[in-house]
Amino acid sequence: MSRTASGLRAWLLQRVTAVYIGLFSLYLVGRLLLAPPADWNAWRDLYRQDLMGLATLLFAVAVLLHAWVGIRDVLIDYVKPFALRLLLLVLVASGLLACGLWVLEILMRVRIG
């Protein structure tokens, strides 16, 4: 695969995730303004719904991918020493992966508990 196609893929991923993040955010703000959950049980019931749980998981994945593409591009463009760039990329990837696993754990605990 050519370098151009790789850049196009990153550009497209950035745009698609931005659209989903925006649409889900608008939906969530509207939902919470029209029918705010009154207590913890109402919050839990909201996220126990299959569609809401899936949409929230997709939102988290979209945010993490969006962040990865943006930070990766900045590091590749502006951090010239290869070893430092690699270290920073590994640290960022590890942090984003940890955040993703944390979101997954939260959503699973809501479903189980």
pLDDT in tens, 68-79: 999 999 999 999
Identify the domain containing residue 61 by its residue range: 3-112
Q: Is 17 exposed, middle or buried (0-12, 13-18, 19+ CB in 10 A)?
A: buried
Q: Give the number of other CB atoms < 10 A from CB of residue 80.
A: 8
- The CATH number of the domain holding residue 28 is 1.20.1300.10
| Amino acid letter, 23 | L
Question: What number is the average pLDDT over the span 30-53?
Answer: 94
pLDDT of residue 1 exceeding 60, the answer is no
pLDDT in tens, 43-67: 999 999 999 999 999 999 999 999 9
How many domains are there within the chain? Answer: 1
The answer to whether 92 and 71 are in contact (CB under 8 A) is yes
pLDDT at 6: 73
